[in-house]
Amino acid sequence: MTTTAQRTSALPNAYTSGRLPRWFAPTLFGATLVVGLGVIALLASSGALPEFSIVLAVLVGVVLYAVLITVIANAAEGRRAATDRLVTSLVITAFVVALLPLISLLWTVTSNGLARFDITFFTHSMRSVIGEGGGALHAIVGTLIITALATVIAVPVGLLTAIYLVEYGRGRLARAITFFVDVMTGIPSIVAGLFAYALFALIFGEGVRMGFAGSVALAVLMVPVVVRSSEEMLKLVPDELREASYALGVPKWRTIARVVLPTAGAGIVTGITLAIARVIGETAPLLIVAGFTSSMNYNPFSERMQSLPVFVYTQYANPGSQVDFYLERAWAGALTLILLVMALNLIARLITRIFAPRARR
Protein backbone atom coordinates (compact mmCIF):
# COMPACT_ATOMS: atom_id res chain seq x y z
CA MET A 1 0.00 0.00 0.00
CA THR A 2 2.79 2.41 0.90
CA THR A 3 4.74 1.58 -2.24
CA THR A 4 1.66 2.09 -4.45
CA ALA A 5 0.91 5.45 -2.84
CA GLN A 6 4.50 6.61 -3.30
CA ARG A 7 4.51 5.60 -6.98
CA THR A 8 1.16 7.34 -7.60
CA SER A 9 2.31 10.60 -6.03
CA ALA A 10 5.49 10.53 -8.06
CA LEU A 11 3.67 10.50 -11.38
CA PRO A 12 3.39 13.97 -12.93
CA ASN A 13 -0.11 15.32 -13.66
CA ALA A 14 -0.14 16.15 -17.36
CA TYR A 15 -3.24 18.34 -16.99
CA THR A 16 -1.85 20.70 -14.32
CA SER A 17 1.91 20.76 -14.74
CA GLY A 18 3.72 22.82 -17.34
CA ARG A 19 0.91 25.32 -17.87
CA LEU A 20 1.52 28.77 -19.30
CA PRO A 21 0.39 31.65 -17.06
CA ARG A 22 -3.04 33.09 -17.75
CA TRP A 23 -1.59 36.45 -18.68
CA PHE A 24 0.71 34.96 -21.31
CA ALA A 25 -1.81 34.50 -24.15
CA PRO A 26 -3.34 38.02 -23.93
CA THR A 27 0.13 39.55 -23.64
CA LEU A 28 1.36 37.60 -26.66
CA PHE A 29 -1.73 38.61 -28.61
CA GLY A 30 -1.12 42.28 -27.88
CA ALA A 31 2.56 41.95 -28.76
CA THR A 32 1.80 40.31 -32.12
CA LEU A 33 -0.68 43.09 -32.94
CA VAL A 34 2.04 45.66 -32.25
CA VAL A 35 4.44 43.69 -34.46
CA GLY A 36 1.81 43.54 -37.22
CA LEU A 37 1.30 47.29 -37.04
CA GLY A 38 5.06 47.84 -37.20
CA VAL A 39 5.53 45.49 -40.16
CA ILE A 40 2.76 47.08 -42.22
CA ALA A 41 3.94 50.59 -41.32
CA LEU A 42 7.47 49.68 -42.40
CA LEU A 43 6.26 48.20 -45.69
CA ALA A 44 4.12 51.28 -46.37
CA SER A 45 6.98 53.67 -45.64
CA SER A 46 9.35 51.70 -47.87
CA GLY A 47 6.91 51.77 -50.79
CA ALA A 48 6.19 48.04 -50.82
CA LEU A 49 2.54 48.84 -50.01
CA PRO A 50 0.63 51.78 -51.48
CA GLU A 51 -0.61 52.92 -48.05
CA PHE A 52 -0.87 51.85 -44.43
CA SER A 53 -3.78 49.46 -43.76
CA ILE A 54 -4.96 48.83 -40.21
CA VAL A 55 -6.97 45.84 -41.45
CA LEU A 56 -3.92 44.17 -42.95
CA ALA A 57 -1.88 44.95 -39.84
CA VAL A 58 -4.40 43.29 -37.54
CA LEU A 59 -4.62 40.29 -39.86
CA VAL A 60 -0.83 39.87 -39.82
CA GLY A 61 -0.81 40.15 -36.03
CA VAL A 62 -3.53 37.52 -35.59
CA VAL A 63 -1.83 35.03 -37.92
CA LEU A 64 1.49 35.59 -36.16
CA TYR A 65 -0.20 34.99 -32.81
CA ALA A 66 -1.67 31.67 -34.02
CA VAL A 67 1.77 30.45 -35.07
CA LEU A 68 3.66 31.60 -31.97
CA ILE A 69 1.13 30.40 -29.40
CA THR A 70 1.11 26.94 -30.99
CA VAL A 71 4.90 26.64 -31.04
CA ILE A 72 5.33 27.95 -27.49
CA ALA A 73 2.51 25.80 -26.09
CA ASN A 74 3.94 22.71 -27.76
CA ALA A 75 7.30 23.29 -26.06
CA ALA A 76 5.94 24.29 -22.63
CA GLU A 77 2.65 22.39 -22.25
CA GLY A 78 2.81 19.43 -24.59
CA ARG A 79 1.10 18.34 -27.76
CA ARG A 80 -2.42 18.12 -26.31
CA ALA A 81 -2.40 21.66 -24.96
CA ALA A 82 -0.72 22.95 -28.12
CA THR A 83 -3.50 21.47 -30.25
CA ASP A 84 -6.08 23.12 -28.01
CA ARG A 85 -4.26 26.45 -28.30
CA LEU A 86 -4.06 26.08 -32.09
CA VAL A 87 -7.78 25.45 -32.48
CA THR A 88 -8.60 28.37 -30.16
CA SER A 89 -6.32 30.68 -32.14
CA LEU A 90 -7.92 29.53 -35.41
CA VAL A 91 -11.36 30.38 -34.01
CA ILE A 92 -10.08 33.81 -32.97
CA THR A 93 -8.53 34.30 -36.42
CA ALA A 94 -11.78 33.38 -38.16
CA PHE A 95 -13.69 35.81 -35.92
CA VAL A 96 -11.26 38.64 -36.64
CA VAL A 97 -11.28 37.91 -40.40
CA ALA A 98 -15.09 38.07 -40.38
CA LEU A 99 -15.14 41.23 -38.28
CA LEU A 100 -12.43 43.22 -40.06
CA PRO A 101 -14.36 43.87 -43.31
CA LEU A 102 -17.32 45.15 -41.30
CA ILE A 103 -15.14 47.45 -39.21
CA SER A 104 -13.32 48.63 -42.31
CA LEU A 105 -16.62 49.32 -44.07
CA LEU A 106 -18.04 51.26 -41.13
CA TRP A 107 -14.84 53.26 -40.73
CA THR A 108 -14.62 54.10 -44.45
CA VAL A 109 -18.28 55.12 -44.77
CA THR A 110 -18.23 57.13 -41.54
CA SER A 111 -14.98 58.95 -42.27
CA ASN A 112 -16.06 59.87 -45.79
CA GLY A 113 -19.72 60.56 -45.03
CA LEU A 114 -19.30 62.95 -42.11
CA ALA A 115 -18.15 65.71 -44.46
CA ARG A 116 -21.76 66.23 -45.68
CA PHE A 117 -23.65 64.85 -42.70
CA ASP A 118 -25.17 68.21 -41.83
CA ILE A 119 -28.56 69.92 -41.54
CA THR A 120 -28.60 70.91 -45.19
CA PHE A 121 -28.25 67.31 -46.28
CA PHE A 122 -31.44 66.36 -44.38
CA THR A 123 -33.52 69.45 -45.17
CA HIS A 124 -32.90 70.06 -48.89
CA SER A 125 -33.37 68.14 -52.11
CA MET A 126 -31.24 68.24 -55.25
CA ARG A 127 -33.65 70.41 -57.22
CA SER A 128 -31.75 73.01 -59.25
CA VAL A 129 -28.49 72.04 -57.53
CA ILE A 130 -25.32 71.65 -59.57
CA GLY A 131 -22.08 71.07 -57.74
CA GLU A 132 -21.92 72.14 -54.10
CA GLY A 133 -24.93 72.07 -51.78
CA GLY A 134 -28.15 70.12 -51.98
CA GLY A 135 -29.27 67.23 -49.88
CA ALA A 136 -31.07 63.92 -49.81
CA LEU A 137 -34.39 64.83 -48.22
CA HIS A 138 -36.33 63.70 -51.30
CA ALA A 139 -34.45 60.39 -51.33
CA ILE A 140 -34.97 59.74 -47.61
CA VAL A 141 -38.70 60.48 -47.87
CA GLY A 142 -38.96 58.31 -50.97
CA THR A 143 -37.18 55.41 -49.26
CA LEU A 144 -39.48 55.59 -46.23
CA ILE A 145 -42.64 55.72 -48.38
CA ILE A 146 -41.61 52.93 -50.74
CA THR A 147 -40.39 50.65 -47.94
CA ALA A 148 -43.51 51.30 -45.84
CA LEU A 149 -45.81 50.36 -48.73
CA ALA A 150 -43.71 47.25 -49.44
CA THR A 151 -44.05 46.24 -45.78
CA VAL A 152 -47.81 46.74 -45.88
CA ILE A 153 -48.00 44.47 -48.94
CA ALA A 154 -45.51 41.78 -47.92
CA VAL A 155 -46.19 41.27 -44.20
CA PRO A 156 -49.83 40.11 -44.43
CA VAL A 157 -49.06 37.86 -47.40
CA GLY A 158 -45.96 36.36 -45.82
CA LEU A 159 -47.47 35.95 -42.36
CA LEU A 160 -50.68 34.30 -43.60
CA THR A 161 -48.62 31.99 -45.81
CA ALA A 162 -46.50 30.97 -42.83
CA ILE A 163 -49.65 30.34 -40.75
CA TYR A 164 -51.03 28.12 -43.50
CA LEU A 165 -47.82 26.11 -43.80
CA VAL A 166 -47.53 25.52 -40.05
CA GLU A 167 -51.14 25.19 -38.95
CA TYR A 168 -53.07 23.96 -42.00
CA GLY A 169 -50.73 22.95 -44.81
CA ARG A 170 -50.45 19.27 -45.62
CA GLY A 171 -49.68 17.27 -48.74
CA ARG A 172 -48.50 18.42 -52.15
CA LEU A 173 -49.80 21.98 -51.97
CA ALA A 174 -47.79 22.77 -48.84
CA ARG A 175 -44.67 21.19 -50.33
CA ALA A 176 -45.15 23.17 -53.55
CA ILE A 177 -45.54 26.44 -51.63
CA THR A 178 -42.41 25.68 -49.60
CA PHE A 179 -40.48 24.92 -52.77
CA PHE A 180 -41.49 28.16 -54.49
CA VAL A 181 -40.76 30.19 -51.35
CA ASP A 182 -37.25 28.70 -51.33
CA VAL A 183 -36.86 29.60 -55.01
CA MET A 184 -38.05 33.16 -54.41
CA THR A 185 -35.55 33.57 -51.59
CA GLY A 186 -32.68 33.30 -54.06
CA ILE A 187 -33.97 35.29 -57.02
CA PRO A 188 -31.89 38.33 -58.00
CA SER A 189 -33.38 41.66 -57.07
CA ILE A 190 -33.32 42.89 -60.66
CA VAL A 191 -35.70 40.07 -61.61
CA ALA A 192 -38.22 41.44 -59.10
CA GLY A 193 -37.77 44.87 -60.69
CA LEU A 194 -38.38 43.49 -64.18
CA PHE A 195 -41.48 41.67 -62.92
CA ALA A 196 -42.90 44.86 -61.40
CA TYR A 197 -42.10 46.83 -64.54
CA ALA A 198 -43.77 44.25 -66.79
CA LEU A 199 -46.84 44.20 -64.52
CA PHE A 200 -47.29 47.98 -64.44
CA ALA A 201 -46.42 48.35 -68.12
CA LEU A 202 -49.42 46.17 -68.93
CA ILE A 203 -51.64 48.55 -66.96
CA PHE A 204 -50.14 51.99 -67.54
CA GLY A 205 -48.12 51.47 -70.70
CA GLU A 206 -44.43 51.51 -71.54
CA GLY A 207 -42.07 53.75 -69.63
CA VAL A 208 -44.08 53.76 -66.42
CA ARG A 209 -42.21 55.01 -63.34
CA MET A 210 -43.77 55.36 -59.90
CA GLY A 211 -42.96 54.68 -56.29
CA PHE A 212 -45.72 52.11 -55.82
CA ALA A 213 -44.18 49.94 -58.53
CA GLY A 214 -40.96 49.99 -56.51
CA SER A 215 -42.92 48.92 -53.45
CA VAL A 216 -44.33 45.95 -55.34
CA ALA A 217 -40.82 44.95 -56.45
CA LEU A 218 -39.51 45.16 -52.88
CA ALA A 219 -42.54 43.25 -51.59
CA VAL A 220 -41.66 40.37 -53.93
CA LEU A 221 -38.24 40.23 -52.27
CA MET A 222 -39.67 40.58 -48.75
CA VAL A 223 -42.35 37.89 -48.90
CA PRO A 224 -40.06 34.80 -48.81
CA VAL A 225 -38.02 36.26 -45.94
CA VAL A 226 -41.17 36.97 -43.94
CA VAL A 227 -42.55 33.50 -44.70
CA ARG A 228 -39.39 31.69 -43.64
CA SER A 229 -38.78 33.68 -40.45
CA SER A 230 -42.44 33.58 -39.37
CA GLU A 231 -42.67 29.87 -40.15
CA GLU A 232 -39.72 29.05 -37.91
CA MET A 233 -41.09 31.19 -35.08
CA LEU A 234 -44.52 29.53 -35.29
CA LYS A 235 -42.92 26.09 -35.18
CA LEU A 236 -41.24 27.02 -31.89
CA VAL A 237 -44.60 27.50 -30.16
CA PRO A 238 -45.15 24.39 -27.98
CA ASP A 239 -47.95 22.11 -29.11
CA GLU A 240 -49.10 21.90 -25.48
CA LEU A 241 -50.37 25.48 -25.72
CA ARG A 242 -52.46 24.64 -28.76
CA GLU A 243 -53.79 21.44 -27.20
CA ALA A 244 -54.72 23.25 -23.98
CA SER A 245 -56.65 25.82 -25.98
CA TYR A 246 -58.45 23.12 -27.98
CA ALA A 247 -59.32 21.30 -24.75
CA LEU A 248 -61.13 24.42 -23.55
CA GLY A 249 -63.25 24.39 -26.69
CA VAL A 250 -61.53 27.31 -28.41
CA PRO A 251 -61.75 27.19 -32.23
CA LYS A 252 -58.55 26.78 -34.20
CA TRP A 253 -58.61 30.24 -35.76
CA ARG A 254 -59.02 31.86 -32.34
CA THR A 255 -56.26 29.67 -30.92
CA ILE A 256 -53.95 30.92 -33.66
CA ALA A 257 -54.96 34.54 -33.12
CA ARG A 258 -54.96 34.58 -29.31
CA VAL A 259 -52.37 31.95 -28.36
CA VAL A 260 -49.95 31.11 -31.18
CA LEU A 261 -49.32 34.56 -32.64
CA PRO A 262 -48.82 36.37 -29.30
CA THR A 263 -46.39 33.66 -28.20
CA ALA A 264 -44.35 33.93 -31.40
CA GLY A 265 -44.91 37.67 -31.82
CA ALA A 266 -41.45 38.81 -30.75
CA GLY A 267 -39.70 36.47 -33.18
CA ILE A 268 -42.09 37.37 -35.99
CA VAL A 269 -41.44 41.10 -35.50
CA THR A 270 -37.70 40.43 -35.58
CA GLY A 271 -38.09 38.50 -38.84
CA ILE A 272 -40.14 41.30 -40.38
CA THR A 273 -37.51 43.84 -39.37
CA LEU A 274 -34.79 41.71 -40.97
CA ALA A 275 -36.88 41.53 -44.14
CA ILE A 276 -37.18 45.33 -44.20
CA ALA A 277 -33.44 45.66 -43.66
CA ARG A 278 -32.94 43.18 -46.52
CA VAL A 279 -34.76 45.36 -49.07
CA ILE A 280 -34.20 48.91 -47.86
CA GLY A 281 -30.83 49.03 -49.62
CA GLU A 282 -31.90 47.53 -52.95
CA THR A 283 -30.96 49.65 -55.95
CA ALA A 284 -31.61 47.70 -59.16
CA PRO A 285 -35.41 47.21 -58.90
CA LEU A 286 -36.00 50.81 -57.81
CA LEU A 287 -33.79 52.13 -60.58
CA ILE A 288 -35.95 50.25 -63.10
CA VAL A 289 -39.48 50.94 -61.86
CA ALA A 290 -39.26 53.99 -59.56
CA GLY A 291 -36.64 55.90 -61.53
CA PHE A 292 -34.79 58.87 -60.12
CA THR A 293 -35.57 62.55 -59.72
CA SER A 294 -34.04 65.55 -58.01
CA SER A 295 -37.34 66.91 -56.66
CA MET A 296 -39.65 65.98 -53.81
CA ASN A 297 -42.51 63.58 -54.54
CA TYR A 298 -44.87 62.51 -51.78
CA ASN A 299 -47.28 60.64 -54.07
CA PRO A 300 -46.12 57.05 -54.74
CA PHE A 301 -48.83 56.60 -57.37
CA SER A 302 -47.67 59.38 -59.66
CA GLU A 303 -44.38 60.22 -61.37
CA ARG A 304 -40.87 59.19 -60.44
CA MET A 305 -39.78 58.83 -56.84
CA GLN A 306 -36.21 58.96 -55.62
CA SER A 307 -34.87 56.47 -53.10
CA LEU A 308 -31.73 56.60 -50.99
CA PRO A 309 -29.88 53.68 -52.68
CA VAL A 310 -30.59 55.16 -56.13
CA PHE A 311 -29.48 58.57 -54.84
CA VAL A 312 -26.14 57.10 -53.75
CA TYR A 313 -25.76 55.34 -57.11
CA THR A 314 -26.55 58.41 -59.22
CA GLN A 315 -24.29 60.68 -57.18
CA TYR A 316 -21.40 58.27 -57.62
CA ALA A 317 -22.01 57.14 -61.19
CA ASN A 318 -22.91 60.52 -62.72
CA PRO A 319 -20.75 63.18 -61.09
CA GLY A 320 -20.53 66.60 -62.61
CA SER A 321 -17.43 68.65 -63.17
CA GLN A 322 -16.98 69.08 -59.40
CA VAL A 323 -16.58 65.43 -58.49
CA ASP A 324 -15.80 65.89 -54.79
CA PHE A 325 -19.21 67.34 -53.96
CA TYR A 326 -21.01 64.43 -55.62
CA LEU A 327 -18.85 61.86 -53.85
CA GLU A 328 -19.42 63.55 -50.49
CA ARG A 329 -23.18 63.33 -51.01
CA ALA A 330 -22.85 59.68 -52.04
CA TRP A 331 -20.89 58.79 -48.89
CA ALA A 332 -23.33 60.74 -46.71
CA GLY A 333 -26.23 58.87 -48.32
CA ALA A 334 -24.52 55.54 -47.65
CA LEU A 335 -23.95 56.51 -44.01
CA THR A 336 -27.63 57.48 -43.68
CA LEU A 337 -28.66 54.11 -45.12
CA ILE A 338 -26.46 52.26 -42.61
CA LEU A 339 -27.93 54.29 -39.75
CA LEU A 340 -31.46 53.45 -40.92
CA VAL A 341 -30.68 49.74 -40.92
CA MET A 342 -29.07 50.06 -37.49
CA ALA A 343 -32.16 51.87 -36.19
CA LEU A 344 -34.39 49.09 -37.54
CA ASN A 345 -32.34 46.47 -35.70
CA LEU A 346 -32.46 48.45 -32.46
CA ILE A 347 -36.24 48.83 -32.79
CA ALA A 348 -36.57 45.09 -33.40
CA ARG A 349 -34.57 44.31 -30.26
CA LEU A 350 -36.66 46.75 -28.25
CA ILE A 351 -39.92 45.24 -29.49
CA THR A 352 -38.60 41.75 -28.79
CA ARG A 353 -37.74 42.69 -25.22
CA ILE A 354 -41.08 44.40 -24.59
CA PHE A 355 -43.39 41.81 -26.14
CA ALA A 356 -41.49 38.62 -25.37
CA PRO A 357 -43.65 36.26 -23.26
CA ARG A 358 -42.66 36.27 -19.61
CA ALA A 359 -43.02 33.42 -17.17
CA ARG A 360 -45.56 34.25 -14.50
CA ARG A 361 -45.74 32.71 -11.07
Per residue, what are the HEC states of the chain?
CHHHHHHHHHCCCCCCCCCCCCCHHHHHHHHHHHHHHHHHHHHHHHCCCCCCCHHHHHHHHHHHHHHHHHHHHHHHCCHHHHHHHHHHHHHHHHHHHHHHHHHHHHHHHHHHHHHHCCHHHHHCCCCCCCCCCCCCHHHHHHHHHHHHHHHHHHHHHHHHHHHHHHHHCCHHHHHHHHHHHHHHHCCCHHHHHHHHHHHHHHHHCCCCCCHHHHHHHHHHHHHHHHHHHHHHHHHCCCHHHHHHHHHCCCCHHHHHHHHHHHHHHHHHHHHHHHHHHHHCCCCHHHHHHCCCCCCCCCCCCCCCCCCHHHHHHHHHHCCCCCHHHHHHHHHHHHHHHHHHHHHHHHHHHHHHHHHCCCCCC
Structure confidence at residue 324 (pLDDT): 85
Lowest mean pLDDT among 25-39, 307-321, 329-343: 307-321
Domain ranges of the chain: 13-116, 123-355
Higher pLDDT, 181 or 96: 181
pLDDT tens for residues 239-252?
899 999 999 988 99
Percent share of the chain, pLDDT over 90: 32
Structure confidence at residue 357 (pLDDT): 59
pLDDT for residue 320 is more than 70:
no
pLDDT for residue 5 is more than 50:
no
pLDDT for residue 6 is more than 60:
no
Percent share of the chain, pLDDT over 70: 93
pLDDT for residue 197 is more than 90:
yes
Structure confidence at residue 199 (pLDDT): 92
pLDDT for residue 198 is more than 90:
yes
**For residues 213 and 127, what is the distance between their CA atoms, to the nearest angstrom?**
23
Structure confidence at residue 46 (pLDDT): 86
pLDDT for residue 7 is more than 70:
no
Structure confidence at residue 317 (pLDDT): 84
Lowest mean pLDDT among 1-5, 228-232, 298-302: 1-5
Structure confidence at residue 255 (pLDDT): 92
Maximum Cα interatomic distance, the chain, rounded to a whole number of Å:
101
Structure confidence at residue 356 (pLDDT): 64
Structure confidence at residue 14 (pLDDT): 45
Structure confidence at residue 96 (pLDDT): 83
Which class does domain 123-355 fall in? mainly alpha
pLDDT tens for residues 327-354?
889 999 999 999 988 888 888 788 777 7
Q: What is the mean pLDDT of the chain?
A: 86
pLDDT band at 21 (very low <50, low <70, confident <90, very high): confident
Structure confidence at residue 9 (pLDDT): 45
Structure confidence at residue 76 (pLDDT): 86
pLDDT band at 228 (very low <50, low <70, confident <90, very high): very high
Structure confidence at residue 13 (pLDDT): 45
Structure confidence at residue 350 (pLDDT): 82
Higher pLDDT, 15 or 69: 69
